[in-house]
A and B are shown apart, each in its own frame.
Chain A
Amino acid sequence: MRIPLRRLGVYFAAFLFAIVVNFTLPRLMPGSPVDSMIAQLGPRATPAAIEAIKARFGAVQEPVWLQFVDYIKGLATFDLGVSVKYYPQTVTQVLARSAGWTALLVTCAILFSLCIGVSLGAVAAWRRGGRFDAFVSPFSVVLIAIPPVIIALATLFTFGVTLRWFPVGYAYNPDLDPGFNFTFLGSVFWHAIMPVLTLSPYMIGEFQTTMRSSMISVLGEDYVTMGRAKGLSETAVMFSYAARNAMLPVLTNLALMLGAVFGGSIVTEIVFNYPGLGLTLFTASVARDYPVIQGQLLLMTLATLGANLLVDIVYGVVDPRIGEQRA
């Protein structure tokens, strides 16, 4: 299994782009953000903190390229600067605190919607033109078109406030001590249900649509006819012959969707007051805590690139032809 060099080039370019945006934006901005950040710090503005912020945002007498070199050096050692809102905590500390919760939400939502979306897509393609298809397929397209904010607010209102089935905020019951025991994990699970269900509809729609169209083209293949001719049961042909191969475009789509999923998780966490990256980003953007906002973009870009790389690797394993062709 080999990952084509061109893909790696794309990932490198994307990462470089994110870094350059982070580096140039504050320097291009009229009215330096440095002053507003120092004002934010208030009494905590020690000379060291002021110095750190100035260096990072270009309010120093140094040629730009030297600043850029310093910036890259800092990134290489995971130095993303200090948070303005949570000073003296560093951006890395602030992000590390919340990244786990977002990873939990996004992973659960992806696995959940993958199961539902792919099965719906496979069945819709299998009974193409039937009543099931005629309802589920347009519905999936509609799911993609509804902003996650709306779904989050509707879920919160229905299941959180009116029916009171699920807790309306935070990641676990604050009365419990975090630990690896059943009560605590149960509380985490219970608190994650609404956010995960909110993140899922968009993905279910995307997966269903992709799966359906890819399954339709796979169903025309000879080996599917062969499977039927062998007298295999409908479900055997559908899942072990057709669906397995039809899954590949779904994987590609999953990698491309991740950015949108992160966007959805930001909104979802804000609505449900869930202590993940999105909520951190929101409080940071309200407080104009630029270092945290920038660190966030880098982290999310890295996560997306990592996931894309993972999908490339999985793709090579699932479909050996790919590696041969592209290499």
Chain B
Amino acid sequence: MRFGLHLLLRQKKAVAGLAIVVALCLMAILAPVLAPSDPGARVGRSHQPPTAEHYFGTTKMGRDVYAQFVWGARPSLAVGFATGLAITALGTVIGLISGYFGGRVDATLDLATNAVLVIPNIPLLILLASFAGTVGPLAIMTIIALTSWPWGARMTRAQTLALRNREFVTAARMVGEPSWRIIFVEILPNLVPLIGINVVGSIIYAIVAQTTLEYLGFGDPLNVTWGTMLYNAQNSSAIIVGAWWDIGAPALGIALVGLGLALLNFTFDEIANPQLRSGPALSRWMWLTRLRRRELEAAR
């Protein structure tokens, strides 16, 4: 299956999604240019509404919300993307091994996959995080990755099972290729669309989980991220006193990443699974059939 960039760029939704994600990443990278001030510095009075001086107002502690928003994008996006990649890597490898080797290996791994899948993730995350105490970005990443690989593993296993007995795999086995080579060189490339969906879905999940953990206060409160911004705003009862900007800025950031990634994933899904398509091609076809039906009726 062809899975080039041009396929993506033809879809309006994908372009919009990609634009949002790229813009947010650029903002994170260019943080020193966009917000030269220190996000931890006190610059004004408590909970001031947005002004020309402080675009997004100030927090309870008098810190600039705009600077925090821009700088907070860095750890939030970095942890989200890295965790998403880690989840996908773990899930793909486990799914490939399970699906390719079959037999007892498959039985064990599949049991583990399904078992971890039915354990409620967030309570497990909270348990792990509360035993670990206040956790840094790396610990958050590890905890999330270790508990959420089963989705990807299940999808990959099913796909690998379908590929395992195809001619090209049998041929490779006949030639005497080692298993690792068959798995990673022969089978893996066929799973690229699936992995694409898996990566984007995992990043979405990772961002949701990270936000939840940080909002509950498990993040490092000194590290400015969108999640800890929410936590601090909640703790200073920003909503009750009407300081909507304090909660709104990080919420907007997180919602925008979610929106962008969701639009991308929707398009990935349509490309990988043409049956689900609803894009321009399909509406043109619908329009043509409607036209033909009308002509037929007119003729009658």
- Residue numbers of A with Cβ under 8 A of B are 9-11, 13-14, 17-18, 21-22, 25-26, 29, 33, 128-130, 133-134, 137-138, 141-142, 144-150, 153-154, 156-157, 161, 168, 212-213, 216-217, 255-256, 258-260, 262-264, 266-267, 270-271, 281-282, 285-286, 288, 290, 293-294, 296-297, 300-301, 303-305, 308
Docked complex: B186-218 residues within 8 A CB-CB of A: 204, 207-208, 211-212, 215-218
Tell me the complex Cα distance, A281–B278, Å. Answer: 43
B122, B215, B265 — which one has the most chain A CB atoms within 10 A of its CB?
B122
Decide yes or no: A161 and B212 within 8 Å by CB, A9-B111, A11-B118, A297-B124 being known contacts: no
Interface residue? B18 (CB, 8 A): no
Tell me the complex Cα distance, A217–B216, Å. Answer: 41
Interface residue? B275 (CB, 8 A): yes
Other-chain residue from B114, B117, B131, B230 in contact with A33 (beta carbon distance below 8 A): B131
Interface residue? B52 (CB, 8 A): no
Closest Cβ of chain A to B195, distance in Å, is: 18
Chosen A-B contacts, 9 in total, with CB atoms closer than 8 Å, are A10-B118, A13-B112, A17-B119, A138-B13, A141-B266, A142-B258, A150-B251, A156-B239, A216-B276
Q: A161 to B13, Cβ gap below 8 A?
A: no
Interface residue? B23 (CB, 8 A): no
Residues of B within 8 Å of A290, CB to CB, are 130-131
Q: A141 to B215, Cβ gap below 8 A?
A: no
Residues of B within 8 Å of A266, CB to CB, are 122-123, 126, 212, 216
Question: Interface residue tally of chain B, by bracket?
Answer: 35 or more
Top 6 nearest A-B pairs (CB, nearest first) are A263-B122, A259-B120, A145-B258, A145-B262, A129-B282, A13-B115
Closest Cβ of chain B to A243, distance in Å, is: 17
B269 and chain A: residue at smallest CB distance:
A141
Is the contact region of chain B dominated by helix, strand, or loop, or is it mixed?
Answer: helix
Docked complex: B104-145 residues within 8 A CB-CB of A: 111-112, 114-131
Q: A262 to B212, Cβ gap below 8 A?
A: no
Other-chain residue from A9, A17, A282, A297 in contact with B216 (beta carbon distance below 8 A): A282
Tell me the complex Cα distance, A323–B215, Å. Answer: 44
A22, A150, A304 — which one has the most chain B CB atoms within 10 A of its CB?
A150
Residues of A within 8 Å of B239, CB to CB, are 153, 156-157, 161
Interface residue? B86 (CB, 8 A): no
A216 and chain B: residue at smallest CB distance:
B275
Other-chain residue from B121, B123, B217, B218 in contact with A281 (beta carbon distance below 8 A): B123
Tell me the complex Cα distance, A149–B119, Å. Answer: 21
Tell me the complex Cα distance, A308–B262, Å. Answer: 27
- Residue numbers of B with Cβ under 8 A of A are 13, 111-112, 114-131, 204, 207-208, 211-212, 215-218, 230, 234, 239-240, 242, 244, 247, 251, 254-255, 258-259, 261-263, 265-266, 269, 273, 275-278, 282-283, 285-286
Residues of B within 8 Å of A141, CB to CB, are 262-263, 265-266, 269
Decide yes or no: A281 and B126 within 8 Å by CB, A141-B265, A260-B121, A301-B120 being known contacts: yes
Tell me the complex Cα distance, A134–B270, Å. Answer: 12
Q: B118 to A217, Cβ gap below 8 A?
A: no
A264 and chain B: residue at smallest CB distance:
B122
A18, A141, A213, A271 — which one has the most chain B CB atoms within 10 A of its CB?
A141
Q: B123 to A29, Cβ gap below 8 A?
A: no
Q: A138 to B115, Cβ gap below 8 A?
A: no
B260 and chain A: residue at smallest CB distance:
A145
A133 and chain B: residue at smallest CB distance:
B278
Closest Cβ of chain B to A255, distance in Å, is: 8
Q: A129 to B215, Cβ gap below 8 A?
A: no
Closest Cβ of chain A to B68, distance in Å, is: 17
Tell me the complex Cα distance, A305–B212, Å. Answer: 23
Closest Cβ of chain B to A101, distance in Å, is: 16
B208, B217, B285 — which one has the most chain A CB atoms within 10 A of its CB?
B208
Decide yes or no: A14 and B262 within 8 Å by CB, A146-B255, A266-B126 being known contacts: no
Residues of B within 8 Å of A145, CB to CB, are 204, 208, 258-259, 261-262, 265
Tell me the complex Cα distance, A296–B123, Å. Answer: 7
Residues of B within 8 Å of A13, CB to CB, are 111-112, 114-115
Q: B121 to A259, Cβ gap below 8 A?
A: yes
Closest Cβ of chain A to B24, distance in Å, is: 14
B217 and chain A: residue at smallest CB distance:
A286
Other-chain residue from A212, A259, A288 in contact with B122 (beta carbon distance below 8 A): A259
Decide yes or no: A128 and B282 within 8 Å by CB, A137-B266, A161-B242, A293-B127 being known contacts: yes
Q: B122 to A262, Cβ gap below 8 A?
A: yes
Other-chain residue from B204, B240, B244, B282 in contact with A144 (beta carbon distance below 8 A): B204
Q: Given A144-B262, A147-B212, A149-B215, 20 other A-B contacts at CB below 8 A?
A: A13-B115, A14-B114, A14-B115, A14-B118, A142-B263, A145-B204, A147-B258, A149-B254, A213-B275, A216-B276, A256-B117, A259-B119, A259-B120, A263-B122, A263-B212, A267-B215, A296-B123, A297-B120, A297-B123, A308-B118
Tell me the complex Cα distance, A17–B117, Å. Answer: 11
Residues of B within 8 Å of A18, CB to CB, are 119, 124
Q: B283 to A134, Cβ gap below 8 A?
A: yes
A158 and chain B: residue at smallest CB distance:
B244
Q: A21 to B251, Cβ gap below 8 A?
A: no
Tell me the complex Cα distance, A10–B128, Å. Answer: 22
Tell me the complex Cα distance, A301–B216, Å. Answer: 20
Q: A301 to B122, Cβ gap below 8 A?
A: no
A10, A26, A137, A161 — which one has the most chain B CB atoms within 10 A of its CB?
A10
Residues of A within 8 Å of B114, CB to CB, are 10, 13-14
Tell me the complex Cα distance, A134–B119, Å. Answer: 35
